[in-house]
Amino acid sequence: MTDFFISYTHADAKWAEWIAYILEEEGFSTIIQAWDFRPGSNFVLEMQNAATTAARTIMVLSPDYLNSKMAAPEWASAFAQDPQGLERRLIPVMVRKCEPGGLLPTIVQIRVVGLSEDVAKDAIIAGVRNARAKPSKRPIFPGTGIDPVPHKAFPGAATELTRKSVIPRMPRQWTDADRKRFLKDGFAEIRTIFEKNLKQADEEEPRVEVDFTPTSPFDFSAEIFIDGNSKARCRVWLANDFGSQSIRFQEGNTTGDAFNESLYPSTDGEPSLFATMALSDIEFKRIFDIKKLTAERAAAYLWMKFVKPLSY
């Protein structure tokens, strides 16, 4: 049985191929019209076979997909086999902003709208897995150092994270002002991601209630309730101890300023954050470069620590 059938419309063909490619890089098998429906075959029969024999169906969700009469039977087949979502047979991946109606809003989505390629890939791979902590990036090839397989072009908009420079980056020494400014910007990004994710969780799952409480511009707490019971809680704040600033993370119902993680700015090279307490955590080390976290990756790291209790 094939792992994934990629359901999409012509307008999102580039997205569909990119998604299929990164899934196959991770060892999954896929069926996709662009690669598997060969000239001379019966399109309707191929589509029926793909929809019924794949373990799961990925919807490449966009306004065009929602308006497509051909796409509806494809996702309906997967939905009919698993209407309660217990086997996660239907996985929507929103690649362009849209408003699904009918039964679709009840299905939790993977949203990659506006994300950089690395973050989008991590979101999809993490979303389709159950609990396995395989690295989001392919390990460096231990042989010649040459990658014989060309990467599929990322169809999203180019960002500072994906754009290549024509000259090598030159190392520089940070000033105290640089560190202070970067920490403030990093905290602002973390706060934004937490607030956005909590809002999405609250909108997508009826059993979930959330609380986001900012106590100052650089201190907030977050909490997730399931069926009225508190299941995940944390506090994040910008600390200044003995003249050294860091972003602190406290999980659970701990009081005071005790913390479970502290993010410090790196002392040279590119602007990044160092997760000092993740050195011994193999699970997170497989997913994140804990010594070189961008503000965006730091937010993703702390969010994963925050929601980890929900998987127990």
Parallel/antiparallel/unpaired status of strands 219-226 and 229-241:
antiparallel
Q: What is the mean pLDDT of each run of 10 residues along the chain (312 residues)?
A: 89 93 92 84 77 86 87 75 78 90 81 87 85 57 50 60 53 72 90 92 88 93 93 92 81 86 78 80 75 88 89 70
Here the tokens at position 229 are 């019971």
Per domain, the residue ranges of the chain are 4-128, 176-311
Among 230, 207, 210, 231, which Cα is nearest to 222's? 210
Q: What is the DSSP-derived secondary structure letter of residue 11?
A: G
The Cα 218–Cα 213 span in angstroms is: 11
Note whether 288 and 297 are within 8 A (CB). Answer: yes
What pLDDT score does 161 carry? Answer: 46
Among 115, 204, 202, which Cα is nearest to 212's? 202
Note whether 80 and 119 are within 8 A (CB). Answer: no
Residue type present at position 239? A
What CATH number is given for 4-128 in this structure? 3.40.50.10140
Phi-psi region of 252 (alpha: psi -120 to 50; beta: other; left: phi over 0): left
What pLDDT score does 168 carry? Answer: 59
Note whether 284 and 290 are within 8 A (CB). Answer: yes
| CA pseudo-torsion sign 9, 103, 110, 126 | negative
Q: pTM above the 0.85 mark? A: no
Parallel/antiparallel/unpaired status of strands 30-31 and 229-241:
unpaired
What pLDDT score does 167 carry? Answer: 56
